[in-house]
Amino acid sequence: MNSTNCTAKEINEALEKQRHIYEQKCEELRQAQIQSEKKLEQVQQSINQQQTSNHVFQPSGIHAQAPLYPNLYNVKNDNFQATAAYANPSASYFHSPSNTGPSPVLAHTQIIQPQPSAPPEPAQEAIFGYPSQNIKSAPPLKPQFGTQPQHPRSQLSHPVPSTSSAAAQPIKKALPQFKPQIRKNTKCEASDSIVECVTCNNKLGIQIYQCKNGHSSCKQCRQKFAQCGICREDITDMRNIMLETHIADIKLKELDKDDRMLCPNSEEGCLLSFKRNEMDEHKKECPYRPMACPLAAIFGLCTWKGGINHLVSHFKEEHQEHMEADVNKEMYLLNINVNHKIVYFVKVGSYNFLVHIEVDANKKTICMIVQSMSTKFSASKWSYELHVYNKRQPRRKYQFVDTCISNNDSVQENFTQRKCAVLNCDYAKTFLDTNRLTYKFYIKNKRSSK
């Protein structure tokens, strides 16, 4: 029996001790809730103070919208009184920063009082076996719309983020972000194209003049005493050396690469064009270049000089005897035992040729070649044939075929090197008919002959 009473007593003491601990914990939770509500109130006051100091006002011409939650201020507390701004949100008026009333912007915002989270209270009947006692909690936080305490500026610069502060601030839409567009400045980039004159819009040459503002104009505009096409200032004698050098380099590149130049003898009739590095070679053999009479180097009698377009008229006037020969015309060579030279001017269409024949009695050779009065390229398209025969011997014939040489090639050098038709005099005598050697020559275009 004593052991049973003793056990019941200990149980009661333990229960009493547990009840005391529970009440102590509840008191701590109540104090924590009070501290949390005070902090929330301070944060709200700081936000209001900051909005007032930043001069954020609502325009007078725009009516405020109705709050999203009109029952927010339906508080059962009789002591709660709202100001005119909250009682009538549609009223529009301004407050100076010195006013103690709230800013009208708060009429659009919702003041949400979050309750601090606390662990759920355990059922006392299940633990202690008797009904739980009502523990008085702190009254809910009332919004204070009176005077607000002044806080230092340093405390307001970084407000503590919270649920209430986030709800009190108006929602700001994030600005759309666009990728920055990088635009190339073509005026500052080095260009391989010729720059145009700002005054006449023609391409600039290698003499460029500037106005006092640095705008570049061409030489012609400077000579006309024109005004700058941009700023209308007078064009001075100041030169743009850097741009002149740049354009000179561009022109040199164009001449070396793609740009083709007309032959300097284009006025005489040459219609060919070449690159700069090919022009010097063409000048040496251009048939339209000023040349001496072809007979001057052979006979040393004529002093005439001129272009090939005047060569035909010169032969007709001064050397008519050298125009007797023609293609497919039966010709006769006399005195094959005596040294002598013969030159015939032959015209085939619009092309001019010279037929050279040399008899060397000492070497007992007869040499013959046909020279085209044109370039090597043009001469390579033509061939000549030499036929030596005797009419009384129709089964016998000497025939030679080769390519014509150009007017820049040496006839005597080809004779010496035997790069021509060479007929031995002893063999040629077998074709003689009454001391005459009969022959024909043909000049053919290789394309037409195919």
Indicate the domain borders of the chain.
2-168, 209-256, 324-449
For residue 398, CA distances in Å to 17, 260, 335, 394, 437 come to: 150, 47, 19, 11, 12
Do 372 and 349 touch, CB atoms closer than 8 A? no
Question: Who contacts 261 (Cβ-Cβ below 8 Å, separation ≥6)?
Answer: 255, 273, 274, 275, 276, 279
Residue 167: which pLDDT band, with cuts at 50, 70 and 90? very low
This prediction has a pTM of: 0.44
pLDDT at 360: 94
**Range with the poorest average pLDDT among 173-187, 252-266, 347-361:** 173-187
Cα radius of gyration rounded to whole Å, the chain: 59
Bridge pairing between strands 421-424 and 393-403: unpaired
pLDDT for 332 equals: 93
For residue 45, the model assigns a pLDDT of 87
| Confidence category of residue 160, pLDDT binned at 50, 70, 90 | very low
Under a CB-based contact definition with an 8 Å cutoff, are residues 382 and 405 in contact? no
Identify the three-state secondary structure at position 260.
coil
> Binning pLDDT at 50, 70 and 90, where does residue 224 land?
confident
Of residues 398 and 282, more confidence is placed in: 398
Q: Give the lowest-confidence range in 12-26, 58-72, 422-436.
A: 58-72
- pLDDT band at residue 264 under the 50/70/90 scheme: confident
pLDDT > 70 fraction of the chain, expressed in percent and rounded:
65
Name 182's Cβ contacts closer than 8 Å, sequence gap at least 6. none
Planar angle of CA 179, 180, 185, nearest 5 degrees: 145
- The secondary structure element, H or E, covering residue 359 is strand 351-360
pLDDT at 431 over 60: yes
Residue 263 has pLDDT above 90, yes or no: no
Tell me, what's the pLDDT at 179? Answer: 54
Q: Which of 85-89, 172-176, 444-448 has the highest mean pLDDT?
A: 444-448
Collapsing DSSP to helix, strand or coil, 445 comes out as strand
3-state secondary structure at position 146:
coil
The edge-to-edge listing of strands for the beta sheet with 421-424 is 340-348, 351-360, 365-372, 421-424
Burial class (CB in 10 A: 0-12, 13-18, 19+), 373: buried
Tokens (6 digits) for 114: 């979050």
DSSP single-letter state for residue 70: G
Higher pLDDT, 376 or 252: 376
In the prediction, which pLDDT does 265 show? 84
More confident residue, 158 or 306: 306
Give residue 189's pLDDT.
43
Q: Which pairing describes strands 209-211 and 291-292: parallel, antiparallel, or unpaired?
A: unpaired
Tokens of 27: 């008191």
| Confidence bin at 206 (pLDDT 50/70/90) | confident
pLDDT at position 194 is: 61
pLDDT for position 171: 54
Note the pLDDT tens digit of each residue in 277-314: 788 888 888 878 888 898 888 887 788 988 888 888 99
Q: What is the pLDDT of residue 105?
A: 42
Full strand arrangement of the beta sheet holding 393-403: 331-333, 437-445, 382-390, 393-403
Which pLDDT value is given to residue 57?
47
**Mean pLDDT value across residues 422-449:** 90
Highest mean pLDDT among 94-108, 186-200, 292-306, 426-440: 426-440
Are 211 and 217 contacting, i.e. CB atoms less than 8 angstroms apart? yes
Smallest CA-to-CA distance from 328 within 404, 421, 440, 438 is with 440
Over the chain, what is the mean pLDDT? 75
Is the pLDDT assigned to residue 448 strictly greater than 50? yes
Cα–Cα distance, 210 to 245 (Å, whole number):
15
Give tens-digit pLDDT for 311-362: 889 999 989 999 989 998 999 999 899 999 999 999 998 899 999 999 999 9
Interatomic CA distance for residues 245 and 251, integer angstroms: 10
What's the rounded Cα separation, in Å, for the pair 261 and 255? 8
Sequence-distant (≥ 6) Cβ neighbours of residue 301 within 8 angstroms: 295
- 31 pLDDT above the threshold of 60: yes
Average pLDDT score over residue span 242-267: 78
Which position has the higher pLDDT, 166 or 288? Answer: 288
What is the amino acid identity at position 413?
Answer: E
The class (CATH top level) of 324-449 is mainly beta
**DSSP letter, residue 104:** G
Chain-centre distance for alpha carbon 432? 79
Residue pair 158/152 in contact by the 8 Å Cβ criterion: no
CB 47 within 8 A of CB 159: yes
